[in-house]
């Protein structure tokens, strides 16, 4: 009898905890954004979340996974399992990472494509790097980036970006707000360059950051 009572108390406590968690959220999707970078990408999405007034209980942004694309995917799956086991699973899980010099890039894309539940895990990948997305706020460019001796593809994009945005450094905390005025221009450029790359059978350069941005811009709007 005592064991049964303890079981029912634990079950009731768990149910109350789940109710409290749900009460903190707003009535729209619960999503997880796992970023390769510890600062640059998380700062960007924190800025976006704050600007659009999104509930932190609905939109979780993490930069704790490590820089390897595979580690991003593993961390994302772990967080999904944790929340699912708690009875409060994420509706969407976005994995944000670059191609650049990562050896496990293609493996990570394959892991996301095969992940369950279907259509829950989504790759938000950039080639060669996240700064290509930032560059598109200033100019439309489909020039491919190839690593040179002592100068990675990512560093080449960074140098071009700094020509438009002097003083920019990885980890800038206010980068979303600094570029807000050019956001729709960047989205249009990113979509256009992705279409052109797909038609040409290449991925260099491309980014899917605009897809995640567009999703977050409308996440709390009624259907």
Residue 9 pLDDT > 50:
no
- For residues 130 and 216, give the distance between their C-alpha atoms in angstroms, rounded to a whole number: 17
Q: CATH fold of 23-218, please?
A: Rossmann fold (3.40.50)
pLDDT digits (tens, 9 = 90+) for 37-91: 889 999 999 999 999 999 999 999 999 998 899 999 999 999 999 999 999 999 9
pLDDT single digits (tens) 170-220: 888 999 999 999 999 999 999 999 999 999 999 999 999 999 999 999 999
C-alpha Rg value of the chain to the nearest Å: 20
Give the number of residues written for the chain.
223
Q: Tell me what pLDDT residue 134 has.
A: 98
Full-model pTM: 0.90
Whether the predicted pLDDT of 5 surpasses 90: no
What are the sequence ranges of the domains in the chain?
23-218
pLDDT of residue 150: 87
Strands 206-207 and 121-127: antiparallel
The helix (run of H) or strand (run of E) holding residue 191 is: helix 183-200
pLDDT value at residue 21? 61
Tens-digit pLDDT profile for residues 86-144:
999 999 999 999 998 888 999 999 999 999 999 999 999 999 999 999 999 999 999 99
């Amino acid at each position: 009898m005592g064991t049964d009572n303890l079981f029912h108390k634990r079950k009731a406590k768990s149910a109350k905890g789940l109710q409290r968690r749900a009460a903190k959220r707003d009535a729209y999707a619960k999503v997880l954004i796992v970023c390769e970078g510890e600062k640059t990408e998380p700062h960007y999405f924190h800025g976006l979340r704050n600007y659009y007034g999104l509930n932190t209980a609905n939109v979780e942004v993490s930069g704790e996974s490590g820089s390897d694309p595979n580690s991003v995917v593993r961390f994302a799956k772990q967080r999904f399992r944790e929340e699912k086991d708690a009875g409060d699973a994420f509706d969407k899980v976005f994995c944000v990472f670059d191609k650049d010099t990562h050896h496990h890039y293609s493996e990570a894309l394959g892991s996301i494509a095969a992940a369950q539940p279907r259509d829950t895990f989504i790759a938000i990948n950039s080639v060669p790097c996240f700064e290509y997305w930032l560059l598109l706020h200033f100019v439309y460019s489909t020039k491919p980036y190839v690593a040179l001796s002592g100068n990675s593809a990512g560093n080449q994009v960074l140098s071009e970006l700094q020509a438009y945005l002097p003083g920019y450094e990885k980890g800038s905390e206010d980068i979303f707000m600094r570029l807000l005025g050019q956001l729709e221009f960047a989205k249009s450029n990113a979509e256009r360059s992705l279409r052109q790359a797909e038609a040409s059978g290449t991925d260099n350069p491309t980014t899917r950051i605009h897809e995640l941005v567009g999703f977050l811009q409308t996440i709390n709007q009624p259907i």
